[in-house]
Chains A and B, each alone.
Chain A
Amino acid sequence: MKKSILILTLAAISAAQISRAADITGVITLKGTAPAEKELTPIKDDPNCSAAYASGLPKTKFYVVGAGGELADVIVSLKGITGKSTGASAAPVVMDQKGCLYMPQILAVQTGQKVIVKNSDNCVHNVHTVPKENAPQNMVQMPGGADLTFTFDKPEPFLKFQCDVHPWMFAWVSVYDHPYFAVTDKDGKFTIKDVPPGKYTIEAAHRKLGTQTADVEIKDAGVAQNFTFEIK
């Protein structure tokens, strides 16, 4: 009886905590003018790749900025949290190789979470990870070949995926040991869901612009935290 009461009490406390978890939202903007993106001219040397771009070659996408300065592809995460990964049970994340480009180019996953890489192109790619903390991998992927699956054991910011057959192809995957992260969309918006109550340091990381941090506190409701990166 006492044991049942204890279990019920603990469950009630956990439920109360989960029900008090809240979201951290925000908008990230860029102040100043980003450098002009460069056309991926080497694509035209490979007919397998250039066939997808009859109307013009794609450009680099280092700075994806909206009309009002909204900055996409910024990875926002909570700092200093370890050992909270739910990656093993999380849904896999899919990255495709299409038109000889990785899509999407910026991703964030948890340790142990699967990254499934597809090859939708009519040519061979090699999927080559260039990590600093995790073990490197390099696998060939034939056109129409089986999907490749990657998982990473250690947290790492901007782990690079590249194709050495097509050296303009690259993507970055940030790996976290917890589920509290998000990538800004084309409107510069992000939402980190279900953050338990507490004080945190939130970090916004852009591939080119570096990182910014801010302190937030989750109490009874969600909080908003915006960031502004600047190019001088």
Chain B
Amino acid sequence: MNNKYNPALFWFAVLNAVATFLLIGLGGLVTSHEAGMSVPDWPTSYGYNMFALPIKFWTGGAFFEHTHRLLASVVGLLTTVLAVWLWLKDSRKWLTWLGVAAFLLVIAQGILGGLRVKWQLDWLGVPHGAVAQTFLVLVAALALVTSRWWHNSAAQKQIAVPRGLRSHVLYVTILIFIQLLIAATMRHQHAGLAISDFPLAHGKIWPDTSVEAIARYNAERMEINNAKPLTAFQVNLQMIHRLVAYAIFLGVAAAAMLARKKLGGRDGLTKFTFAWLGLLTLQIVLGAATIWTNKAADVATGHVMVGALALLVGALWWLVAARRTALT
């Protein structure tokens, strides 16, 4: 066991994190295509061993659901190997236990996804989505703490990150996670677009959610997928999602200004914060595009993936800031 930088271990951890990010994208496509229940059985697929499903059945929604299951198996395997590798080769006890946590979390995530299908509990899709994002942060953190930068930072002079700035970024990151929960709840209503215009909402700044208005929206909407009828709750939830998005954008913009003021424009974390702001700008554009394209599956899934990245950037930013501060 040692505590030296191990490039093979680091790059394997990066591979696991990248595979996890892609898996979130594939999971996003499953929901965007309303395909979550297209393979009714689990862990088999249409009665076949999951790894032996004939290609002729990889069609329509089943293509996304089945490939999602296959990639999930790969991520499970990668995580298992990483956890064992850390246990055997890294002397940092806290890290080895983080590896165990990642292993247990990926198992739990697989079971959550499987039970959602097997027990036909649609609402399990929400925690399944939330755990996916949490797991992504965890495996990315594993990559960070096995990186050359992390190992070398102890021997290098570090500049502390002011507590106020660290706390600000932490709160914004938590707000992003809350936003992801809101978004997951929205997507798993399976009701299509609750509000079909942007930046207005049903033609107004704040939409009418009276019984008559909701009935009118449902009467006028010509959905071409199996969307459920709209409810006032869904319209209000979409409005909350929009408001929280604006709050997050302002929070990240403030973080960027604060970082430049407190750390200077050349500090790596300042640049990282501005990159975060760029990511949030893209996210708002994707959110608008999701509405303007009537929730086109690829656009909506892009919105999911950039949301995951936004959470990841905040979390990694905070970890780096905490590491730097702890070493001063």
Contact = CB atoms under 8 A, between A and B. Distances in A.
Interface of A: 35-42, 45-46, 48-49, 60, 62, 123-124, 126, 128, 130, 136-140, 142, 160, 162-170, 208-210, 231
Instruction: Report the 8 A-B pairs with minimum CB-CB distance, sorted nearest first.
Output: A164-B38, A162-B226, A165-B60, A167-B34, A138-B40, A167-B225, A170-B226, A164-B37
B61 A167 contact: yes
B40 A140 contact: yes
Contact of A126 (B39, B47, B224, B228): B39
A92 B226 CA distance: 25
A136 B59 contact: no
A123 B62 CA distance: 11
A36 B39 CA distance: 33
26 contacts: A35-B219, A35-B222, A36-B222, A40-B224, A46-B60, A123-B59, A124-B62, A126-B37, A126-B62, A128-B40, A130-B228, A139-B40, A140-B39, A140-B46, A164-B34, A164-B36, A164-B38, A164-B61, A165-B35, A166-B61, A167-B35, A167-B225, A168-B225, A169-B226, A208-B218, A231-B219
B57 interface: yes
B318 to A, nearest CB: 39
A168 B224 CA distance: 5
Interface string B26-49: 000000011111111100001100
A125 to B, nearest CB: 9
A35 B216 CA distance: 12
A39 B228 CA distance: 19
A209 B220 CA distance: 9
B120 interface: yes
B33 A167 contact: yes
B37 to A, nearest CB: 4
Best-surrounded residue of B34, B47, B59, B218 (most CB of chain A within 10 A): B59
Given A36-B222, A166-B61, A126 B34 contact: no
B59 A165 contact: yes
Given A165-B61, A166-B61, A160 B226 contact: yes
Interface in B10-38: 33-38
A184 B223 CA distance: 22
Contacts of B222: 35-38, 60, 62
Interface of B: 33-41, 46-47, 57, 59-62, 65, 120, 215, 218-220, 222-226, 228
A168 B33 CA distance: 10
Chain B: interface secondary structure? loop
Contacts of A49: 60
Contacts of A41: 224
A169 B219 CA distance: 19
A210 B61 CA distance: 31
A138 B224 contact: no
Given A46-B60, A48-B59, A128 B37 contact: yes
Contacts of A137: 120
Contacts of B41: 140
Best-surrounded residue of A37, A45, A138, A164 (most CB of chain B within 10 A): A164
A54 B219 CA distance: 31
B248 to A, nearest CB: 30
A60 B224 contact: yes
A229 B189 CA distance: 28
A136 B38 contact: no
A42 B62 contact: no
B35 A46 contact: no
Contacts of A167: 33-35, 60-61, 225-226
A121 to B, nearest CB: 11
Nearest to A142: B46
B214 to A, nearest CB: 11
Contacts of A39: 224
Best-surrounded residue of A40, A123, A126 (most CB of chain B within 10 A): A126
A46 B120 CA distance: 25
Contacts of B35: 164-165, 167
A160 B120 CA distance: 14
A35 B36 contact: no
B59 A124 contact: yes
B73 to A, nearest CB: 20
A41 B61 CA distance: 15
Contacts of B225: 42, 167-168
Nearest to A132: B228
Best-surrounded residue of A37, A41, A170 (most CB of chain B within 10 A): A170
Contacts of A123: 59-60
Contact of A208 (B61, B120, B219): B219
Contacts of B33: 167
Nearest to B222: A38
Contacts of B36: 164
